[in-house]
Amino acid sequence: MIFRTSSISAPKFALVALAALFLSCMSAAATRSDLTLGMVLEPSHLDPTAGAAAAIDEIVYANIFEGLTRIGPNGETEPALAASWEISTDQRSYVFHLHKGVKFHDGTAFDAGDVKFSLDRARAADSTNAQKGLFAAIDQVEVIDPATVKVTLKYPSGDFLYNMGWGDAVIVAPESAAANKEKPVGTGPFKFRNWAKGSQIVLVGNPDYWGEKPALDKATFRFIPDPAAATAALLAGDVQAFPSFPAPEAVPQFQADPRFQVVIGTTEGETILAENNARPPFDNPKVREAIAHAIDRKAVIDGAMFGFGTPIGSFFPPHHPAYVDLTGERKYDPELARKLLAEAGFPKGFRTTLKLPPPTYARRGGEIVAAQLRAVGIEAQIIPVEWAQWLDQVFKGRDYDLTIVSHTEPNDLDIFARDDYYFNYHNPAFKALIAQIAATTDDEKRNALYRRAQQILSDDAPVAFLMQFPKLGIWDAKLQGLWKNYPIQANDLTAAKWAD
């Protein structure tokens, strides 16, 4: 704990001294090897193969569990449990060579059988894996020998190695898989110690780790959903890092404070105003275009995110090599929006609803968007919903007009090609394009196709594109090795360490 003694007047000193005495033990150590991280959401359990919550990966990914491959700090696919692999020329069979001498945290050995078990389990009929689509291409998994696995695909997949790096594809042991929700057992550099529900989860260093041991020997993830409390906890030193800080309004305060470093990175979160393309008047392209022109992305970013976030003109992350800046295509132009509305048959605008899930970006952004729509004549009634309702009503039931949400999965451009997706957007040309991308393994060719896809979405305006969600990382100035970006939602602590 750090005190700015200069700000404390004399009479309060006794109290402060007392408080300092209580807490002195925490600041005494010379070089620390422990770290407390703040997280907004507490996961409901810790098994990444049985739940979609980003909060699970934010704790266990790369720390407790490892997959065949892993996704690195900049989104690159790297080897993990598989030291190397060979791909057949038809791109349909992969042979993975596994690291030897790897042990699970419960002492059982890791081998090819575990890989087969994990992949088969994930794609089984009764599997509760939230991302079964990742395994859709797999036809067969064979154990060649304890250190070699062969995976045969039904069709070539450019994303296969990348997909195997997701948290949902980590390798678990048959002995412990059933209990992973409560007591996760993986092969990673950290072991699960304990979980105080509603408060924190503690990991400790794994002395038997097969790879290079991390600098930290203890990591505590503390759950602080409230932005104000998050600010306070950082200021008080209760947490030393908040990799994804929830209160953009408080960031300038930390930027001005030399005790902290503020690292603004990127995420895979394309944040959009989704429109129900099947429901009038949003089935009318002119209405959708009008909405696209009615929105001032800068105001949304300034107002809801206090300036953090990158405006996007289509559904693609700006840090991706294939990104095209299309923000100029649908410019903020309320006059044009009104005109388009009139052309669509709504000269006086119309009334509609805007369902907002709980996160601040959605609620605040929604208020601004509603105000902007009101300015062109569209009266959008705000209906706040919980996530459970949002999933039920909006995502599954497609019972909505407008909603704001951030799509955080990496590489998820294909959602606009899905038939049953909640946008109700159907464009055969776009669908064909996505199919083509999936089957293309050459990077340059893929990127070209990606650019075309971006352009289609900008032209069709099935939804209004707002911004790429920023990663607001704030941590102690002496802390090093945390990820700047979120190519995948994870807090990989293998490289984290304290400077002296």
Which parts of 430-459 interact with other proteins (CB under 8 A)?
none
Identify the residue whose tokens are 């907002």: 356
Task: Indicate the helix (H) or strand (E) that contains 449.
Answer: helix 443-460
Measured from the Cβ of residue 99, the count of other Cβ atoms closer than 10 Å reads 17
Report in angstroms how near the CB of residue 332 gets to other proteins at its nearest: 13
The stretch near other proteins (CB under 8 A) out of 93-101, 149-157, 228-236, 330-338 is 228-236
Q: Which of 76, 86, 139, 226 binds other proteins (CB under 8 A)?
A: 226
CB 422 within 8 A of CB 391: no
The stretch near other proteins (CB under 8 A) out of 59-67, 192-200, 271-279, 340-348 is 192-200
The Cα–Cα gap between 42 and 63 comes to: 17
Structure tokens at 5: 């003694």
**x/- contact string, 462-491, with other proteins (CB under 8 A)?**
------------------------------
Q: How are beta strands 241-242 and 402-407 bridged, if at all?
A: unpaired
Which parts of 399-418 interact with other proteins (CB under 8 A)?
407, 409
Which parts of 101-130 interact with other proteins (CB under 8 A)?
125-130
Q: Which is nearer to other proteins, 306 or 350 (CB)?
A: 306
Q: Which of 148, 176, 353, 393 binds other proteins (CB under 8 A)?
A: 393
Report in angstroms how near the CB of residue 335 gets to other proteins at its nearest: 19
Q: Which of 77, 384, 448, 478 binds other proteins (CB under 8 A)?
A: 384
Residue 29 makes contact with other proteins by CB under 8 A: no
Report in angstroms how near the CB of residue 230 gets to other proteins at its nearest: 8
Report in angstroms how near the CB of residue 269 gets to other proteins at its nearest: 12
The Cα–Cα gap between 395 and 423 comes to: 9
The Cα–Cα gap between 276 and 393 comes to: 12
CB 296 within 8 A of CB 372: yes
Task: Convert 235-259 into a string of H (helix), E (strand) and C (coil).
Answer: HHCCCCEECCCCCHHHHHHHHCCCC
Identify the residue whose tokens are 């950082």: 234
The Cα–Cα gap between 9 and 437 comes to: 65
Q: How many residues belong to the site for other proteins (CB under 8 A)? A: 76
The stretch near other proteins (CB under 8 A) out of 43-51, 112-120, 140-148, 489-497 is 43-51
CB 333 within 8 A of CB 371: no
Q: Which of 358, 439, 444, 477 binds other proteins (CB under 8 A)?
A: 358
Report in angstroms how near the CB of residue 119 gets to other proteins at its nearest: 16
C-alpha angle 214/216/219, rounded to 5°? Answer: 120
CB 354 within 8 A of CB 402: yes
Which parts of 262-321 interact with other proteins (CB under 8 A)?
299, 302-303, 306
Residue 249 makes contact with other proteins by CB under 8 A: yes
Residue 364 makes contact with other proteins by CB under 8 A: yes
Sign of the CA dihedral with 16 first, then 21, 22, and 28 last: positive
